[in-house]
Structure 1
Amino acid sequence: MANRKFIVIIIALVLIIAIMISAAIIFFTREDAMWLFGNKISTEFQVTNDIYYNPLMGFATDATSKTDVGNNSLVYIDITFREFEPEEGLYAFEQIAIDNNIEYWRSLGKHAVLRFQCDYPTDEEHIDIPDWLYEKTSGDGTNYDIEYGMGYSPNYNNEIFIEYHAKAIKALGEYFGNDDFVSYVQLGSLGHWGEWHVYYEGGIIRIPNETTRLKYIEPYPDAFPNAKLLMRRPFKAAAEYGFGLYNDMTGDPDSTDSWNEWLQYGGDYTQAEELDALVPMMDAWKTAPIGGEFTSSLSMDWLLKVNIDQTIQMLSESHVTFLGPKYPELKNESDELFKQGIDKVLFNMGYRYNVTKSVVTKSKWSSMEKVEITWSNTGVAPMYWDWPVYLYVLDNDNNILDKYETKLELSTLLPGTEKTTKNIIDLSLYENSEIKLCVGIIDPMTKEPAVMLISDNEKVDKLYIIYKSN
């Protein structure tokens, strides 16, 4: 009897030991266990109020002028149908490139906003479509002399015009649409300045109905697969395609209020006499950019000095990423109030990415090191591309020894949110070196670090140090 009890006890002990060993194996083979009792170094970084001219945001300056760009990262390319296709089927790519300094901007790593237009009012009689197309459409349009200026408004219902417009957008995309240089395309095409309105009170033929308007919209997504597309109003098509929006009356309180009402409630489109043609798109900024330019109806002094608080409120509430080609230019260096206004505008546009914390944990059981980085966005919008974000290993002379891609998706790092990335590196690869760990955001067009973080980290060019081994 005693022997039987002894055997039972032995078996029970064996089972308990086996269970404990199994549990230990399971625990210590989990990734988390590797860092148990490890040496943890945590560093916090402060967000700053610095102003940086980061890529894909800020002011978009006139691409035809090399002197206007300054530190701005965007240029604005305006092309009329007449400029682009002076003869049927012959596109003026070379001249467009020369006039807009395209190779120069590429060499500087600038990105572009593009708008194609068929009607640009000026103070002289003219037409902005090619002569051959004017003849093919038998002059089906309206010569005008109105308060906006003089020009010619095509009949956008004309099927011949629609056909050649589609061909032009396709050709424009073949030239510009195969890389990341043209990052934003504002769907111009219809109306004065490509703003989807005409002065019909002056006898000009109205903007066409939704079915016909779609024929002007549909060529764009295929032509520009890498760009973010924007429309002047929150049309149903804009919501369905996931387009961004642009407001060319930014800073004008009444016009911007109307624009925001469209975004909030939708509404009618009087230009085509359509009810409920506009749909609510208040959250469009979360996935697609908001752009535009400052209004010409008010002076820059009024916008940036007298009414700066309301201007900033309009920008931040609209979640604006870029403005141009109408933007504030500092012409008097001693005008400190104007300078401050520019800085406030730039501060309230686009993304402001930061590293707020890093935690580096050295494993007690191996040569592995876990690097956790907390990112935040204190701007008014995200970046709308997922540019690669790398963790770099540098030696003491700032040579890059290695890099690891993080899993950070910049497009989802919305204002007021945080995300944490985690990378595992093997210290044995660098055991004879004092190392620095840095982070950098790469522009796929230049293949170089391009984004300035709004944190007080020590940096090496545009790489931000989060840890030093010494």
Structure 2
Amino acid sequence: MKKRSFLRLLLCTAALLTLIWIWSGRGTSFYEHADGAVGPITVNLTETSEAFKNPIMGFRPSRGVNETSFRNREYADIYKHYIKYTDLEYDATDSVQKIIDWSNKAWAGIEKRNIKVVPRVVIVYPGAGEYWPKGVPHGDAVNQWLSDELKSRLVAFIAKLGQAWDDDPRVAFVEMGLYGNWGEHHVYPLRFKDRSNQIPLSFQIALGDAYEAAFHNKKVLVRYPGTFKDYDFGIQWDSFALPDDASGGNGEIRRDTWRTQINSGEVAYNWGDQTKLGGSPDGTLSNMANTNYVIDWIMNTHTSSLGWISDYSTRNSAVDAGAKAMQKVLGYRYVLNEVTFTGNVTPGGTMNVLFQVTNKGSSPFYYNWPVEASLLKSDGSVAWKGLFQADIRNWLPGTDWNSTTRAYNEAPVTNTVNGMFTIPKSVPSGTYTLALSILDPAGWNPSVRFANTNYYIGGRTPIGKVGVGRNPTDQNLGSFASLKSDTTLGYSLGSSAYTGAVGSRFSTIIVNDRALSFEAKPKIIKGVTMVPFRQIFEALGMMVEWNNATKSVLASKGNLTIKMTADSNKASVNNKEFQLTPAPFVTPESMFYVNLRFVSEAAGAKVNWDNDNKVATIETAD
């Protein structure tokens, strides 16, 4: 028994020393060794179970034409705002400044609450009033929507809206509004002479052209998917999931613009078949069958935000469960899967960071907000920061929703982002926490949060410890905070330039969702990616024999053999000869490089090259 105990103690001690060796950065190899950087560390992260607020997604309450504030709601930081036309313009000579002044007063301070607004300007709001501009004929509930005076007035007004709101960081996106009851582009239950009740084509062209000319930085949404067909506008389905208006949702699906244009909606509880909606927000969210029915529509239409249903009651456990489930799928939900980073950086040297992220929500994020890496001091303040060259608009969700499996048949892809950053010599030696965040350009503060358990108050996701001028003292990140409970986020209204660094991309090779660790840096020669031979062959499941005398490699797997020789443009696959350009070569450091695509495809794998991010993705057949 004593001998067994001693052996067990010896094995545990050895295992502990091995872990310490790995975490110190000496026990791993990096996919790319940068000058002055050693000790890569790979961290696997966990998705949080929380639902939480994030910009321009989720439950979206409304502020009515006569309301004076944005009510606090559990998951909301995006609000629709119905605005009287005459609050912004009554006389045609009213200036853009009137719109700006009104906006500053109505939206004062919302940036401190991280709130963004979806304005919809209305002329007729049944039950509340009518707000016709001076000089536009009205009084006939149908013909008042057909006059040339109205058309020309709206076109001029839209130009003013663009000048006031297109660069306003408080505006998330714009619902076209203006025309018809509630600005919903219809005169229902009345009809025009052609028996239609929707906005006529001549007005679609006039308003569509005007909004395209006025708004270059903000997305624009229209009510019906069958209108404005020649314009890149999103859809605001104002009877979301209502069986009586299923044509609206099916029209969104057919229009299929969700990858670049926002789809939003409002669950209607005041008309139609309420069987699957429960007749109220609580009726929907307290019943999981009803909740899943709405979620099915969210996932099929790739909807990013929903109104009216946002007015549910809190402090009801059944409603809370439904609200949590729905908030987690509305819009984007970015989950970090794995991050690999340089564990020890020489001052003035290079830090490499590579992360993989999946969008587990229903839609993309529609603006190109920057992704930042930062090194945090022990007190949480930023010692250094830099931006990746990444476009988060490309982090797409899955497609083809399956209501039986409760998942997309086409699962979301894993996005790989890498950055190479020079750490200035001015950064003092010490141990820092590497953190990732997505910034709102209005103030360059963390805003979009990753859905991971690793979280610090203020919007950053801590990854691991980096040593500058030394090995990190430990990998203890301390305690994590609740994403839902963090109320510290905000943005600013003034414009300013980013004060941090901007990283560069480096070549990354991923085989079956795993980034490869190479002994030496991959090279791109004449547009062809060349990599050290052993790691790629072994990643493809092949046995490797190196002949130093002939400077050749023989790789084999089952009935497959591949032979390649340094400085020879000829390679053989099962004794069949192929031409290579460029030829494999041996570096002065005695590293043998082979052609990545040729080797991978010869082994039966599929290769995809993302030139923007310098990432090669390889999928093997087995």
Pick one of 392, 409, 416 that aligns with 1:410: 392
CA–CA distance in 1 between the matches of 2:382 and 2:61?
35
Quote how far apart the aligned CAs of 1:383 are: 0.6
Match of 2:164 in 1: 175
Quote how far apart the aligned CAs of 1:338 are: 1.5
Deviations 1:34-63 (A, max 9, x none): 589953321100112211100111223334
Change (3 A) 1:39 1:174: closer
Q: Within 5 Å, give how 1:110-125 maps onto structure 2.
A: 110-122=115-127
Quote how far apart the aligned CAs of 1:66 are: 3.2
Pick one of 231, 250, 263 that aligns with 1:241: 231
Q: Identity, % of aligned pairs?
A: 21
Match of 1:228 in 2: 219
Match of 1:18 in 2: none
* Corresponding letter in the other structure for 1:383: F
Deviations 1:125-180 (A, max 9, x none): x53313x224xx3x4x524xxxxxxxxx5533311111111112122222222222
Match of 1:219 in 2: 210
Conserved? CA contact 2:36–2:350, under 8 Å: no
Conserved? CA contact 1:362–1:368, under 8 Å: no
Change (3 A) 1:463 1:162: same
**Alignment pair present for 1:289 and 2:270:** no
CA–CA distance in 2 between the matches of 1:343 and 1:263?
25
Quote how far apart the aligned CAs of 1:301 are: 2.9
Conserved? CA contact 1:373–1:420, under 8 Å: yes
CA–CA distance in 2 between the matches of 1:290 and 1:206?
22
* Corresponding letter in the other structure for 2:158: I
**Alignment pair present for 1:104 and 2:85:** no
Match of 2:367 in 1: 385
Give the secondary-structure state (helix, strand or coil) at the position aligned to 2:110. Answer: helix
Change (3 A) 1:428 1:362: farther
Conserved? CA contact 1:391–1:405, under 8 Å: yes
CA–CA distance in 2 between the matches of 1:310 and 1:111?
28
Change (3 A) 1:443 1:428: closer
Give the secondary-structure state (helix, strand or coil) at the position aligned to 2:286. Answer: helix
**Alignment pair present for 1:128 and 2:125:** no
Deviations 1:58-86 (A, max 9, x none): 22333445362335211222123233323
Pick one of 136, 139, 142 that aligns with 2:140: 142
Pick one of 78, 81, 100 that aligns with 1:74: 78
Q: Within 5 Å, give how 1:180-219 maps onto structure 2.
A: 180-199=169-188, 201=190, 206-207=197-198, 209-219=200-210
* Corresponding letter in the other structure for 1:197: H
Q: Within 5 Å, give how 1:314-393 maps onto structure 2.
A: 314-324=297-307, 326-331=308-313, 333=315, 335-361=316-342, 367-393=349-375
CA–CA distance in 1 between the matches of 2:37 and 2:83?
63
Change (3 A) 1:93 1:45: same
Match of 1:87 in 2: 91
CA–CA distance in 1 between the matches of 2:208 and 2:428?
58
Conserved? CA contact 1:157–1:208, under 8 Å: no
Instruction: Tell me the matched-pair count.
Output: 403
Quote how far apart the aligned CAs of 1:202 are: 6.3
Conserved? CA contact 1:38–1:361, under 8 Å: yes
Conserved? CA contact 2:208–2:231, under 8 Å: no
Quote how far apart the aligned CAs of 1:189 are: 2.2
Quote how far apart the aligned CAs of 1:367 are: 4.7
Give the secondary-structure state (helix, strand or coil) at the position aligned to 2:182. Answer: helix
* Corresponding letter in the other structure for 1:424: M
Task: Give the alignment's TM-score, normalised by structure 2.
Answer: 0.60
CA–CA distance in 2 between the matches of 1:364 and 1:461?
26
CA–CA distance in 2 between the matches of 1:197 and 1:37?
63
Quote how far apart the aligned CAs of 1:447 are: 2.3
Q: Within 5 Å, give how 1:262-277 maps onto structure 2.
A: 262-264=251-253
Change (3 A) 1:428 1:226: closer
Unaligned runs of 5+ in 1: 1-30, 144-152, 265-279
CA–CA distance in 1 between the matches of 2:269 and 2:218?
27
CA–CA distance in 1 between the matches of 2:380 and 2:82?
42
Q: Whose helix fraction is larger, Structure 1's or Structure 2's? A: 1
Give the secondary-structure state (helix, strand or coil) at the position aligned to 1:376. Answer: strand
Which structure has the higher relative contact order (CA within 8 Å, separation 6+)?
Answer: 1
Match of 1:62 in 2: 62
Match of 1:27 in 2: none
Give the secondary-structure state (helix, strand or coil) at the position aligned to 2:282. Answer: helix
Q: Within 5 Å, give how 1:304-315 maps onto structure 2.
A: 304-306=285-287, 307-315=290-298
**Alignment pair present for 1:451 and 2:448:** yes
Give the secondary-structure state (helix, strand or coil) at the position aligned to 2:225. Answer: coil
* Corresponding letter in the other structure for 1:227: K
Change (3 A) 1:154 1:437: farther
* Corresponding letter in the other structure for 1:82: T
CA–CA distance in 2 between the matches of 1:343 and 1:403?
33
Change (3 A) 1:41 1:318: same
CA–CA distance in 1 between the matches of 2:154 and 2:445?
37
CA–CA distance in 2 between the matches of 1:301 and 1:37?
55
Give the secondary-structure state (helix, strand or coil) at the position aligned to 1:53. Answer: coil
Give the secondary-structure state (helix, strand or coil) at the position aligned to 2:126. Answer: coil
Quote how far apart the aligned CAs of 1:191 are: 1.9
CA–CA distance in 1 between the matches of 2:416 and 2:373?
13
CA–CA distance in 1 between the matches of 2:209 and 2:117?
21
Deviations 1:397-421 (A, max 9, x none): 3221211111221110011222222
Quote how far apart the aligned CAs of 1:361 are: 3.9
Change (3 A) 1:440 1:426: same
**Alignment pair present for 1:155 and 2:144:** yes
Moved more, 108-117 or 427-436: 427-436
Match of 1:51 in 2: 51
Conserved? CA contact 1:60–1:113, under 8 Å: no
* Corresponding letter in the other structure for 1:57: M
CA–CA distance in 1 between the matches of 2:350 and 2:161?
51
Conserved? CA contact 1:47–1:455, under 8 Å: yes
Change (3 A) 1:369 1:170: closer
Quote how far apart the aligned CAs of 1:208 are: 5.1
Match of 1:25 in 2: none
Conserved? CA contact 2:378–2:432, under 8 Å: yes
CA–CA distance in 2 between the matches of 1:79 and 1:50?
34
Conserved? CA contact 1:34–1:364, under 8 Å: no
Quote how far apart the aligned CAs of 1:349 are: 0.1
Deviations 1:437-466 (A, max 9, x none): 111111112321112211122435311111
* Corresponding letter in the other structure for 2:99: F
* Corresponding letter in the other structure for 1:312: I
Pick one of 454, 464, 469 that aligns with 1:467: 464
* Corresponding letter in the other structure for 2:238: D
* Corresponding letter in the other structure for 2:120: R
Quote how far apart the aligned CAs of 1:226 are: 1.7
